[in-house]
Amino acid sequence: MILLQGDDGSRVIPLQEGKVNDIRLEVTAEDGTTKVYVVHAQRLSAKDATLSNLQMASGQLTPPFSSAITDYECNYLPMSVLYSELVPFLLCDTLDL
């Protein structure tokens, strides 16, 4: 949930899990001119175990990283490389690796 605070008080806006939630803010100037801002907030799902990125310290993943692809190859490492580091990036710090 998001707590929205303004001159007319505050409101709690619940966020649906796993979906993009549109939060609409309307600002009114003294002369009555209004401007609307929209914030697209996504609350991650507790069922989501997606990586945001995956990188090799040496070499290159094939195909290039996509969160929708779960199978990669790393070919053509230089002969001088004895080991390489695989670095996963989690979407959320509450996920376990």
Domain count for the chain, please give it: 2
63 domain residue, yes or no: yes
Examine the domain organization and report whether 84 and 66 are in the same domain. Answer: yes
pLDDT computed for residue 3 by the predictor: 64
73 domain residue, yes or no: yes
38 domain residue, yes or no: yes
**Contact criterion met (CB below 8 Å) for 85 and 63:** no
pLDDT band at 2 (very low <50, low <70, confident <90, very high): low
pLDDT computed for residue 85 by the predictor: 84
75 domain residue, yes or no: yes
Examine the domain organization and report whether 35 and 55 are in the same domain. Answer: no
36 domain residue, yes or no: yes
Mean pLDDT, residues 44-48 taken together: 72
How far apart are the C-alpha atoms of 63 and 30, rounded to whole Å?
Answer: 55
58 domain residue, yes or no: yes
Distance of CA 88 to the CA centre of its chain: 14
Examine the domain organization and report whether 86 and 55 are in the same domain. Answer: yes
97 to each of 1, 44, 73, 75, 87, how far by Cα in Å? 26, 17, 20, 24, 11
Examine the domain organization and report whether 83 and 55 are in the same domain. Answer: yes
**Contact criterion met (CB below 8 Å) for 2 and 41:** yes
How far apart are the C-alpha atoms of 17 and 95, rounded to whole Å?
Answer: 15
Cis peptide before 63 (omega within 30 of 0): yes
Mean pLDDT rounded to a whole number for the chain: 82
The pTM (predicted TM-score) of the whole model is: 0.51
78 domain residue, yes or no: yes
Give the domain extent around 64.
Answer: 51-90
